[in-house]
């Protein structure tokens, strides 16, 4: 099925509470939606989410929209959606970087290809291995008592038994104490992990990770800046607690370097980081060959973006550390008519043609920007 049109929308969705990261506190999350159409008006949708304008990475929502419309769109119009890997190859030859923009366009094309055949997207990536995926929840209020209450409520409701805390903002020792109090409160009922969002230097990381390891924390995500791969390798060698690379993995070449020098022994995989679903499947293959464990990361996408990642993650043999596909639970509203199902600590991968999500166009244009 040939691609006839491509449209890009910037949409801002309100959150149920502030979501605090090292570089930004989210109270309104921005997502970029891409819609492609084929013969007969059949649609494929893609999504990426961004954090804090330009505070997380160089690709702002405005730049993503402009670069898709000016540079990527002319390369895909008229192409057969079934050749999505070939289309991505063409785009990569002519457009440097812009992994978020590429990921959103590829996701839309992939869905159009799947819908044209009447099959779910996971069938295009080798078939589903997992019908559901474990899901972590991020405790990001910054208040210890509130985070403990939130964790215990989630455990009781069988919502989540994996909790991650963002601890890159503020005084490191105080943040470590905050995490250890939460771990003490939930005990062995839950896995507790931390994400530093690149905020520490190596000296700070040494004493903080030692305390976290002694306190039973299960995973340390990106403690050092993405460029400091040698420091990440030293931390990975020194500590028993796994060190997870996230922002360090911004291209297939970087993924290979991180694997080669063991600058982390867990990979957080995200389609937006490496330019799409096909590239993400390659990241998983590199990790498998290197004996590196996987975690299904998130940019805090809406229900569509969450479905996109879940379809791909469901085709990967082992996601040892689960996923973080909690995005839809953080929003007060949704851009789809149907919802992602969460139960018994897991996300159920949506079924049906494409990603299995019915887009709510009225809601999309309600939250879309006019510019």
Residues with a catalytic annotation lie at: 166
Please state whether 294 falls in left (phi above 0), alpha (psi between -120 and 50) or beta. beta
Residue with the two structure tokens 């867990």: 266
Partners of 5 in the β-ladder: 37
- Round to whole Å and give the CA distance between 213 and 221: 13
Q: How far apart are CA 32 and CA 367, in angstroms?
A: 11
DSSP 27-81: EEEEEEEEEEE-GGG-EEEEEEEESTTTTS-S--HHHHHHHIIIIIHHHHTTSBG
Distance (Å, rounded) from C-alpha 88 to C-alpha 109?
10
245-259 burial, b if ≥16 CB within 10 A, otherwise e? bbbbbbeeebbeebb
> Does an H or E element contain 371, and which?
none
Maximum separation of any 2 CA atoms in the chain, in Å: 61
User: What CA–CA distance (Å, rounded) separates 278 from 296?
Assistant: 15
- Which residues does residue 31 pair with via DSSP β-bridges, in sequence order? 11, 49
Name the one residue in this structure whose structure tokens are 């690149």. Answer: 198
Work out whether strand 191-195 and strand 243-245 pair parallel, antiparallel, or are unpaired. Answer: unpaired
- Report the distance separating Cα 312 and Cα 73, nearest Å: 24
For residues 298 and 278, give the distance between their C-alpha atoms in angstroms, rounded to a whole number.
Answer: 17
CB 95 within 8 A of CB 67: yes
Write the CA distances from 71 to 62, 64, 96, integer angstroms. 14, 10, 10
Cα–Cα distance list, 153 to 15, 148, 160, 180, 345 (Å): 19, 9, 9, 18, 12
């Amino acid at each position: 099925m040939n691609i006839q049109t491509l449209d890009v929308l910037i949409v801002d969705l309100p959150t149920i509470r502030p979501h605090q990261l090292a570089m930004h506190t989210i109270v309104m999350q921005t997502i970029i939606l891409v819609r492609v159409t084929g013969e007969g008006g059949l649609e494929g949708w893609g999504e990426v989410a961004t954090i804090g304008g330009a505070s997380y990475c160089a690709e702002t929502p405005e730049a993503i929209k402009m670069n898709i419309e000016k540079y990527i769109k002319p390369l895909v119009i008229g192409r057969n959606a079934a050749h999505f890997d070939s289309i991505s190859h063409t785009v990569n030859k002519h457009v440097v970087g812009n992994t978020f923009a590429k990921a959103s366009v590829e996701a839309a094309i992939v869905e159009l290809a799947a819908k044209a055949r009447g099959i779910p997207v996971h069938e295009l990536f080798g078939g589903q291995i997992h019908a559901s995926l474990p899901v972590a929840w991020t405790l990001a209020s910054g208040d210890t008592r509130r985070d403990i209450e939130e964790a215990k409520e989630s455990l009781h409701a069988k919502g989540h038994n994996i909790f991650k805390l963002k601890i890159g903002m503020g005084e490191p020792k105080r943040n470590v104490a905050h995490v250890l109090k939460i771990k003490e409160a939930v005990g062995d009922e839950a896995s507790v992990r931390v994400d530093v969002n690149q905020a520490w230097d190596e000296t700070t990381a040494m004493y903080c990770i030692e305390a976290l390891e002694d306190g039973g924390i299960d995973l340390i995500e990106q403690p050092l800046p993405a460029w400091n791969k040698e420091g990440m390798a030293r931390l990975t060698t020194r500590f028993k607690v796994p060190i997870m690379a996230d922002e360090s993995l911004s291209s297939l070449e970087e993924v290979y370097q991180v694997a080669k020098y063991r600058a982390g022994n867990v990979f957080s995989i995200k389609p937006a980081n490496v330019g799409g679903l096909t590239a993400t499947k390659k990241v998983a293959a590199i990790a498998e060959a290197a004996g590196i464990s996987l975690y299904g990361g998130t940019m805090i996408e809406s229900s569509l973006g969450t479905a996109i990642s879940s379809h791909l993650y469901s085709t990967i043999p082992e996601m040892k550390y689960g996923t973080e596909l909690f995005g839809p639970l953080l929003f007060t509203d949704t851009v789809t008519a149907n919802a992602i199902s969460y139960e018994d600590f897991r996300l159920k991968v949506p079924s049906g043609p494409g990603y299995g999500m019915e887009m709510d166009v009225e809601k999309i244009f309600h939250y879309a920007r006019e510019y």
